Chain A
Amino acid sequence: MKYFRRFLLIALFGVLVFGTIFSAQAQDRTVVIGFTASQSGRYNVESTRQINGLNLWLNQVNEAGGIILSDGTVITFNTVFYDDESNTDRVQELYTRLATDDNADFLISPYSSGLTDASAIIAEQYGKIMITTGAASDSTYQKGYSLVFQTYTPASRYLTGALDLLASLDDTVENIAIVHENDKFSTDVSTALNDYAIAMGFNVVLFEGYDSGTTDFAPFINKIQDAAPDAVLGGGHFQDGSTFARQMHEKDLDVKFVALLVAPPEPNFAELGESAIGVIGPSQWEPLAQIDEAAAEAAGMEFYGPSGEEFVTAYMEAYEEEPSYHAAGGYVAGLLLQRAIEDADSLDTQAVKEALDALDLLTFFGHIQFDITPEQHGLQIGHSMMYIQWQGMADALEKDIVWPPEAVTADALYPLNGGE
């Protein structure tokens, strides 16, 4: 009996010790997400919002107890990041450090197509899955990568909806001008737009780029005036886009329709006052667009994550500003990673990659599905752009969605200048 008691005690002790060891192994795993943020340089604003969105997701998932795998492992998330100074050379150096020294489990892209293109090669080289956000160029996904997945609608479909809108508003329009910033993203968008315009039967009377950092568009606007288009499409990023819009208005450019990249959806664009009225811009996402379970049910799709309303409320509580699409993109990049880990039930790179390959669902950001063909693996094929327009009076501007028809919150203001 004495020996039996001893045996029982030893057995109990053994069970406790091994149980503690095994349960500790199964209960605690902190996943490191690595990325660079443009805390200085020209992408500071967009990048900050993107990281705000990502951090909101991370805080929410951690506060909710993390992800619990079927073996009981609790996954929580931590981040390691550096300032890339909006500089391509810094990005390659820093992502190498994230993949090697910091041993990040997963990577999130920096903001902008140029920086993302530079970082994607590092992710692929070191076998790390990278969810890209704030990066729309198609070409990054046409280089044979298998671990890079795009959140945004690609550049080739960025402005094409604006032409669909124009065609729906006025079937007499023939001549359009496409002017764009000479950077990778804007050039990709404009080249695809040019092909689409020609296919639709438009006559592109001016197709020209301007240097990044251009501040004086007056000579350029004179050139557009000489070409006499009905519509101007193109642009680049916030700074040049807002300057261009303001100067077109100041010089009273006689066109019926203006659609510019990036700048118009930003809340600060309203600071332009009268110059902002009527300007259309493509947006990856808008707070106005309430995508939720009901929308998913109507579309016959699975919904995942918070609704648009829940995201907007949480973001405004956290950062005291309305989220832009950059912020939503940052959040959804984390959300997709979360879903892929849940589906894979593992942190293994190959298993998570296969889970991402299989994703086909609706989030508050929109439909998400990746191209899995070898030619353009990781390219976003589910998500579509929305087109906003600033309407109202100069001192009380409001942003409305004017395209696509299923998301419209107001009829498009057309033509500009009252039809003159």
Chain B
Amino acid sequence: MDILAFLVDGLLIGFVYGIAAMGLTLIWGVMNVINLSHGAIIALGMFGIYLLFSLFGVNPYIGVVLVALAGLITGMLIYAIAIHRVIDAPHLSTLLATFAVNMIIIGLGTSAFSTSPRNVDVALGSIEMGPVAFPATRAVAAVASVLVTGALYYFLYRTTLGKYIRAVTDNRAAAELMGIPSARILALSFGLGTMLAAIAGGLIATFFPFTILSGATYELKSFVICVLGGVGNPVGALVGGLILGSLEGVIPAFMPTSWVPVLEFILFVVILLVRPTGLLGRKK
């Protein structure tokens, strides 16, 4: 048994999990909002690529850029319409607001596309490296994930807007006193979070068939990764994604695949008990 093949497959998918989780962790960390429409946005990203590819023949990787922009704008609109009014209300209000957005997207999506699986036929062949062979689409998605993580890190730590976001994350009242327009920054943060979810969806669509319901799986994984990597930390999300991907890759080598979610959630509980701030989360 070549364990390396199992590990490489897991790591490659882990990069994409990381991007999906980054969107959730950004919104959670900055706004203290658990975005229950995250999975639906991932599914919209998948359908964005599908429509661009099947209707206009747009290359899926160029399509990801367009889907990212659409995700940013959609996220800012969702914030303005559904979140802004309840941002200071108890947690249950924001949970319900994002859940409502989720149900609206799923309902409209089911009506428009049904739950029939769709497929974006990207044929890049497979890459062989010694004993390991893996689809090139996954390698491209992994590289894209690293680039997006780098760009996000640069944005958050090297640009004024990024500094504003971190300032609002640390102390919104103090940031407002310093003249930072917190409402706009929160809208931008929500937009960035949904943009990352849409990118993840777009990349996943290049190698897995999907339906409008497919985002739920990645939303659940994103929660686990957020806890694993540390809420609000993009790099933590990527590391968490890689850990989760590796587990999903390697566990089936030793035991039935049905054990994968069991062990994942055991890890989830252990991290919550032993290190509630996550592996790379800030200590309170």
Q: Which residues of A contact B (CB under 8 A)?
A: 40-45, 48, 182, 208-211, 213-216, 218-220, 222-223, 225-226, 238-239, 242-243, 246-247, 250-252, 268, 271-274
Contacts and interface: CB of A to CB of B under 8 A. Distances in A.
Contacts of B214: 215, 239
B126 A252 contact: yes
Contacts of B13: 216, 218
A250 B207 contact: yes
B209 A243 contact: yes
Contacts of B260: 211
A219 B6 contact: yes
Contact of B261 (A211, A239, A268, A274): A211
B130 to A, nearest CB: 14
A268 B117 contact: yes
Given A218-B9, A250-B137, A251-B134, A239 B258 contact: no
Contacts of A44: 110, 114-116
Contacts of B217: 213, 215
Nearest to B207: A250
B139 to A, nearest CB: 12
Contacts of A220: 252, 257
Contacts of A252: 126, 133
Given A246-B119, A274-B123, A222 B209 contact: no
B135 A219 contact: no
B126 A250 contact: yes
Nearest to A48: B114
Contacts of A41: 115, 213
Contact of A219 (B126, B137, B211, B253): B253
A42 B135 CA distance: 27
A219 B114 contact: no
B88 interface: no
B118 interface: yes
A222 B110 contact: no
Given A210-B258, A213-B217, A251-B126, A223 B209 contact: no
6 contacts: A44-B115, A208-B257, A209-B258, A211-B260, A268-B116, A272-B209
Contacts, number: 107
Q: Is the interface of B mostly helix, strand, loop or mixed?
A: mixed
B208 A243 contact: yes
Contacts of A182: 258
A205 B5 CA distance: 20
Interface in B210-256: 211, 213-214, 217, 248-253, 256
B110 A40 contact: yes
A251 to B, nearest CB: 6
B115 A45 contact: yes
A211 B251 CA distance: 14
Contact of B116 (A45, A223, A246, A274): A45
A209 B257 CA distance: 7
B208 A215 contact: yes
B114 A223 contact: no
Nearest to B254: A223
A42 B9 contact: no
B10 interface: yes
B121 interface: yes
Contact of A42 (B115, B249, B251): B115
Nearest to B261: A211
A219 B121 contact: no
Contacts of A219: 6, 9-10, 248-253, 257
Given A219-B257, A220-B252, A222-B5, A242 B119 contact: yes
Contact of A210 (B204, B208, B251, B257): B257
Contacts of B55: none
B273 interface: no
Interface in B133-147: 133-135, 137
B121 to A, nearest CB: 5
B216 to A, nearest CB: 8
B1 interface: yes
A415 B214 CA distance: 33
A408 B209 CA distance: 30
Contact of B209 (A48, A210, A211, A239): A239
A40 B113 CA distance: 11
A43 B110 CA distance: 12
Interface in B1-23: 1-2, 5-6, 9-10, 13
